[in-house]
Structure 1
Amino acid sequence: MSGEPDALAVVNQLRDLAADPMNRQAIVQDQGCLPGLILFLDHPNPQVVYSALLAIRYLAECRANREKLRGELGMMLSLQNIMQKSTSPGETKLLASEIYELLQAASATDSEPAGAAVSSRRKAQFFLGSSNKRAKTVVLQIDGLDDSSRRSLCEEALLKIRGVISFTFQMAVKRCIVRIRSDLKAEALGSAIASTQVMKAQQVVKTENGDEVLVPFAEDGSVAVERNEDLPEYLPEDDSPSQEPDKAVTRVGSSQDGASWLGAAANFLSRSFYW
């Protein structure tokens, strides 16, 4: 039907809703949305699969959701299938692997003593951790990252680089936290940001004393960047891993809009699948 959204439109909307921390528990508690996301993990369209993974990753950032996510029928098996499938793109495999390890670590924490649980949580940090040896995290300080239009330019530049897995913005402090493949040089990110011609990035590095220093990237463009030609659509989240809630960036739109679209998405899912 022409007036009915297709699978990609629905999963993209769920992904965008899941990017807002205010919606995450409601999505997981809904009887239709979570099973629908799991079914999307087996969809023939790779863009649908990648967008569903991003939505699940956002949902898993809420610690209270992790046990429910891990225990949902088909979740862990679907993630394993993506990781093992030879036709899955590399970035999709890495994202599925990180979600799988995060949910597995959440399960381990439930049965560990308090001290071991803290250690496990540190190892399982999603954005800043290094649980996946095939991926690494780079923190960028971006001069000129002043508003949503600049952020959009940043997104477009980063998404053109093959090897970028995911990223999140800390708009209040003009930072971007990027997960990339371990064989991708951080300088490629700096070149991508510089290509916008209105922003400039430096890498944030911690010293042995725990102090942060800013390391500028070379400006001669000597780093070769492999471009993404077949890229799933991706909208990164706005909320920050920062511990300062007063500096959080509010997403466009109201909670009422989110709730109404959540209901519409669940209704579409219930008509499209049989559970």
Structure 2
Amino acid sequence: MMDALSVVSQLRDLASEPQNREAIVQDQGCLPGLVLFLDHKNPDVLFATLQTLRYLAELTPNISTMKNELGMMVSLENLMEREDISVDVTALAKEVFGILSAPPRPAPRSPERKKKSQFFLNSSNKKAKSVTLHIQGLDSTDQRSLCEEALLKVRGVISFTFQMASKRCTVRIRSDLPTESLASAIAATKVLSAQQVVRNEAGEEVFLPLNSSGVEVQQNAALPDYLPEEESPQAEADRAISRTAAKEDASGGWLNAAAGFLSKTFYW
């Protein structure tokens, strides 16, 4: 079973990969579901939904489809005018509304299109990569909190998603950040250790040892603007993204599960 926050959080992670953006917008269930999420009571769901829409709007051909989606512009305007939600949400709503309502530009790489929101951390990290870690000792929510604190301190970590059932964590990082830095930060907890999950030539998953000793870890001076939301325990099952390949095929797998959830929840 999925809940709204886990669905939109995973959909946002999928949308952060440029190759998935067209498939998400073309899917019959995802875009209408995101519009409905713009009216959700949970502010975390609202912010994650807006982040997802901001990613999707990075692909210029998506803009017209998104703008014409029933209820999209009205819902964004409502968020912009609300006074009972955070300024982060209203500011991002204004940015998305501005992008969708702007006249089409013949040159998609104009300077204005390169301007990024301070609330949209991932958009400034075009050269990013995803790493899947198997974390020994990841057996409870307390240990997950330790791991979260360790990863948040590493400069270059963009986002992460846990799959508690398989003791894994998918981490999106800057391409210039050594994977060993993640292992070193996790090892510093004294109770957790990490190995990288990769696929060999036969397509089988194997664990790659990571040298965590003697690796200098650059730390954030403060917490980043975007923090991963709490996931429901039920969402931490096999439906969660467990490897990069899942993002390379957005038309199947997890995206279909998310669309199915949206359809069952909102359509009869």
Q: How does the TM-score come out when normalised to structure 1?
A: 0.54
Deviation at 1:99, TM superposition (A): 1.2
- Equivalenced residue count is 192
CA distance in 1, matches of 2:124, 2:112: 22
Contact 2:152 2:223 in 1 (8 A): no
Query: 1:123 aligned to 109, 112, 130, which one?
Result: 112
Q: Deviation per CA, 1:96-143: give whole Å up to 9, x if none.
A: 1211112222xx126xxx5xx679x42233xxx27x7x9899x999xx
**Aligned-partner Cα distance in 2 for 1:16–1:78:** 22
Decide whether aligned partners of structure 1 residues 17 and 170 sit closer, same or farther in structure 2, where only a CA change above 3 A counts: closer
> 1:255 maps to what in 2?
248
TM alignment of 1:85-234, pairs within 5 A: 85-105=82-102, 108-109=103-104, 121-125=110-114, 129=115, 156-157=152-153, 171-173=174-176, 198-200=216-218, 233=229
Cα 1:17/1:45, change in 2 over 3 Å: same
Aligned pairs for 1:38-53 within 5 A: 38-53=35-50
SS in 2 for 1:31: coil
Matched letter for residue 171 of structure 1:
R
Distance 1:232 1:135 in 2: 13
Aligned mates of 2:19, 2:92 — CA distance in 1: 23
CA RMSD of aligned residues (A): 4.6
Distance 1:255 1:200, change over 3 A: closer
Q: CA deviation at 1:154?
A: 8.7
Q: Report the CA distance between 1:45 and its aligned residue.
A: 0.8
Structure 2 letter corresponding to 1:156: L
Rate the CA distance shift 1:92–1:200 in 2: closer, same or farther, 3 A: same
Unpaired runs of 5+ residues, structure 2, are 126-130, 134-147, 156-171, 178-214, 231-242
| 8 Å CA contact retained: 1:15, 1:55 | yes
Judged with a 3 Å threshold, the aligned counterparts in structure 2 of structure 1 residues 93 and 265 are, in CA distance, closer, same or farther, namely same
Q: Distance in 2 between matches of 1:21 and 1:227?
A: 22
Q: CA deviation at 1:198?
A: 4.8
C-alpha spacing 1:260/1:89, structure 2 compared with 1 (3 Å): same
- Aligned residue among 30, 33, 36 for 2:33: 36
Distance (Å, rounded) in 2 between the aligned partners of 1:18 and 1:122: 23
CA–CA distance in structure 2, aligned partners of residues 31 and 156 of structure 1: 35
What is the letter of the counterpart of residue 233 of structure 1?
A: E
Q: Distance in 1 between matches of 2:41 and 2:98?
A: 24
Describe the SS at the equivalent of 1:109: coil
In the superposition, relative to structure 1, how do residues 11 and 140 fare at CA in structure 2: closer, same or farther (>3 Å)? closer
